[in-house]
Amino acid sequence: MVNEQKRFALFLATSDSTFVKKTYGGYFNVFVSTFGEDGEQWDLFRVIDGEFPDDKDLDKYDGFVISGSLHDAFGDDDWIVKLCSLCQKLDDMKKKVLGICFGHQILSRIKGGKIGRASIGLDMGLRSITMVKDAVKPGGYFGSQIPKSLAIIKCHQDEVFELPESATLLAYSDKYNVEMCSYGNHFLGIQGHPEYNKEILFEIIDRVVNLKLMEQEFADKAKATMDNAEPDRKQWQTLCKNFLKGRSEQV
């Protein structure tokens, strides 16, 4: 018997920049090259533009990824409210959902957590986050080797302040209480960007500076975090792929 093709969907909550379009053909390709594998089908829904799957089609998917966004996850734009409603349906269906940055905050919002503007303001650059001892189990999403900490690229101005009781805190940092968390075996939220590389981050920083939304000094400091270091992309890929494909259960 032939295994059925696994099918995933990306809910893209941001617009493609000119740079990302030119270099990668769009953010969709960045996500699929990070989390996808041969033989899978990946579909794109530009939720920021009001593109959503029909409810009747949700069961066809094995998992979903919610991208980052320039918008606030606590906002009440029509598409954000619709995305929240859709995620509640996916929660009821126990579908796998990986929330990244904005997506992580959306999952917390629908589960009853507290989200808002980050108390320390905008954070950009490479950061180290610490795994919660005993929360990340051997044989779970990381496999047999569980790191004490991992480097990840951060790019956000909002945060999850407080998790609901249904959540399990998986990682934190010196700046934020919630860097990664799970809800049961089907929702996983990561505040950082496993899909970003240095090139993508630097282009975003330059764009934000050009828009006069960030001082050059802050931008230089953010870029300097990657002078002699890089994110643990392979380990993040392993974690996210194992979660989405249901290869091992964390809790």
Structure-token match 């998992």, residue found: 63
Is 181 one of the annotated active-site residues of the chain?
A: no
Q: Is 71 a catalytic residue?
A: no
Residue 48 Cα distances to 1, 9, 26, 34, 167, angstroms: 39, 14, 14, 21, 27
Query: Would you state the structure tokens that stand for residue 175, as one six-digit string?
Result: 């700046």
Closest CA to 62 of 84, 89, 92, 93: 93
Which of 87, 155, 159, 195 does the annotation list as catalytic? 195
3-state secondary structure of 82: helix
Q: Which of 49, 87, 48 is nearest to 65 (CA)?
A: 87
Backbone angles phi, psi at 29, to 5 degrees: -65, -35
CA distances from 17 to 7, 10, 20 (A): 26, 17, 5
Catalytic residue among 87, 101, 155, 181: 101
Select which of 179, 181, 193, 240 is catalytic. Answer: 193
d(CA 51, CA 33): 22
In angstroms, the CA 30 to CA 195 distance is: 7
Question: By the 8 A CB rule, do 153 and 193 touch?
Answer: yes
| Known active-site residue 195 | yes
Contact 131, 146 (CB under 8 A): yes
Catalytic site residues? 101, 193, 195
